[in-house]
Structure 1
Amino acid sequence: MTQPILDHESKVFNQAGAAETNLLKDYGLTGESHWLTFQGLQVRVLTVGEGKPVLIVPGNTGDPYPWIPLLDKLPGYKFYIMARPGGGLSDGFDHNQVDVHDFAIKLFTSVLDQLNLKRVPILSHSMGAHWSTWYALAHPERVTQVITTGNPGRILMEKTPGFLKAMALPGVSKVAGKIVVPKDADHALRNQKVMGTDPDAVARLPHSFAEATFAFDQLPNYSLSTISLLQAMNDPKKHNGITAEQLATMKVPMTLLWGSNDTFEKPALGEKIAQASPQGKLHEIQGAGHMPWIDRPEKVAGIILKQLEAVSD
């Protein structure tokens, strides 16, 4: 397996790191990078805060920066934000080169072992929530609970949303790869509209959020990682979905936070997932999109804090 390695001395690498630091400062936060190794890849984990450990698994290719607007509202916890290979300054990643399920399980175990985290709650988003659910199903002894935000990947999803299906097509993927990369920071938040985020919520974000989005999307492997993830996860021959039968074996609590305006799937699917999981619970976030904490940060933070307090090791 030959994966694209990210040059840590490059201009785009340094620009992305600086943009993330500026965004952290705007929210009164500081972060520390931890560099781990897995299957020859450098995997970055960003830590923010102090207190009880929580593993955060971001969506899409794994950029930590979208979580920053929420973290200042979650005191008392130390967040380990795992940048999965493909994003967040970790090495690039072609998901079509691996069995994604097997890779995810081994990655999570390796990261937790290297961080000396025996058992943790997992807070996750979108495709990161799908991978986190895989891990909780495989290794419940390492996970106290799973809290998901937004439509969690392909859990119980019978049909792929049309625009995602089109992006994954071989004939379209090259063009799509160029389209998903913004031309400048002023256009970097256009995807928030696609995800159902309230325009007023987008307008309230500091400009450093747009600058971070632009900087991370400029990393050389962003398009490859994004498109190959869509292809690998939506290929019906690879059977990467999660079924109701699998969810029925979940041994840890699963809490879903789902925006009423999420454009990937509506909260009705979240109710089905919650009912399929023995300890499942759905919270619909009114007026929120696929990243519900961007729209309703206080509401989302309150639910997360309550759930983290309710379930301890």
Structure 2
Amino acid sequence: MSDKSNYKRVSRNYNKNGYKMNTTEEFKRTRKILFDKEGIQPQSKIVTTNGPVKNVHYLEIGSGKPLILIHGGGSHSSEWFNIIKPLSTKYHLYVVDRPGCGLTDSFDYTGVDFRKSAVEFVDSFMNALGLDKALFTGHSMGGYFSICFAMQYPERVEKLLLIGAPAGVNLWIPLVLRLLGTKGLNRFLVKSVAKPSIKNVKNVHKQILVADVEKLSEDYLKHSYYGQLIPGNEKGFLTLLENVLTLAGWKKDLYIVDLQ
């Protein structure tokens, strides 16, 4: 089946009452499919914070010591779907959507002090949940958020596990991200060759995220596609990249090795 026909097929879904679902509803529907196949039923919750964004979405499941999982890039909390079940047998998981991602409030990173905002986000999220201390697992940009928070509030971080290289440890950045971080050009790209589609979701994962893209299920690719279509998420991702990148790569003043 071609990508064009596949796009038509996944975008024409209706709820049980015959009404066409919007992208947020489709995101939730495809998330449920992923979770059902993994045998997990995490609670989907919204907490009000006094941080960079007011309403923060997170998934909660399990019991034990609190473990906060922070996803990467323009992704969302569902990206952890295949390790939630084993982790939840030992830990109380709080799987959060970063600002402008998933079901958390949209966010414009233009002119924002990025490191400060990252720390304030984690701090306000923990405060809203009444968590004095937690373990952290971060992937890519989630690793950057976790490291910055741990450096400012080491007493609140019991342990920190980084999956893959955190953002900011290397000044070199893949070309596709540098182009998407170039203001003006990025808007053109997302309306043309980088327009959200299942094919492009698969290509990005193949280029920079996974070793074997063929192991990603169609259900996961559809879910990621709808995550890109949630209102405000595109702007959040592009302004984030504009904030932290130049055409040469990662901004030197945000280089994590030099943070003190």
TM range (shorter): 0.7 to 0.9
Residue in structure 2 matched with residue 154 of structure 1 by the alignment: 168
Give yes or no for contact 2:68–2:93 (8 Å, CA) kept in 1: yes
SS, match of residue 86 in structure 2? coil
Distance 1:237 1:208 in 2: 35
Per-residue CA deviations over 1:271-301 (Å, capped at 9, x if unaligned) read: xxxxxxxxxxxxxxxxxxxxxxxxxxxxxxx
Identity %: 24
Residue in structure 1 matched with residue 205 of structure 2 by the alignment: 192
TM-score (norm 1): 0.68
Number of residue equivalences = 233
* Farther off after superposition, 88-97 or 125-134: 88-97
Distance 1:180 1:71 in 2: 30
Give yes or no for contact 2:102–2:230 (8 Å, CA) kept in 1: no
Quote the offset at 1:146 in angstroms. Answer: 1.4
Q: Sort the Cα spacing of 1:206 and 1:62 in 2 relative to 1 into closer, same or farther, 3 A.
A: closer
Give yes or no for contact 2:134–2:159 (8 Å, CA) kept in 1: yes
Per-residue CA deviations over 1:105-154 (Å, capped at 9, x if unaligned) read: 11111111111211111101001101110000000011012111122101
Amino acid at match of 1:49: G
* Greater RCO, CA 8 A, separation 6+: 2
SS, match of residue 227 in structure 2? helix
CA-based RMSD: 2.2
Distance 2:91 2:118 in 1: 25
Distance 2:207 2:127 in 1: 37
Give yes or no for contact 1:41–1:85 (8 Å, CA) kept in 2: no
Residue in structure 2 matched with residue 220 of structure 1 by the alignment: 231
Give yes or no for contact 1:181–1:218 (8 Å, CA) kept in 2: no
Give yes or no for contact 1:177–1:224 (8 Å, CA) kept in 2: no
Distance 1:152 1:104 in 2: 13
Q: Sort the Cα spacing of 1:215 and 1:243 in 2 relative to 1 into closer, same or farther, 3 A.
A: same
Quote the offset at 1:228 in angstroms. Answer: 1.0
Amino acid at match of 1:14: E
Q: 2:256 aligned with 1:242, yes or no?
A: yes
- Structure 1 runs of 4+ aligned residues shifted over 4 Å read 235-238
Amino acid at match of 2:65: K
Q: How does 1:275-294 map to 2 (within 5 A)?
A: none
Q: Sort the Cα spacing of 1:172 and 1:141 in 2 relative to 1 into closer, same or farther, 3 A.
A: same
SS, match of residue 142 in structure 2? helix
Distance 1:56 1:89 in 2: 15
SS, match of residue 31 in structure 2? helix
Amino acid at match of 1:13: T
Residue in structure 2 matched with residue 48 of structure 1 by the alignment: 61
SS, match of residue 110 in structure 1? helix
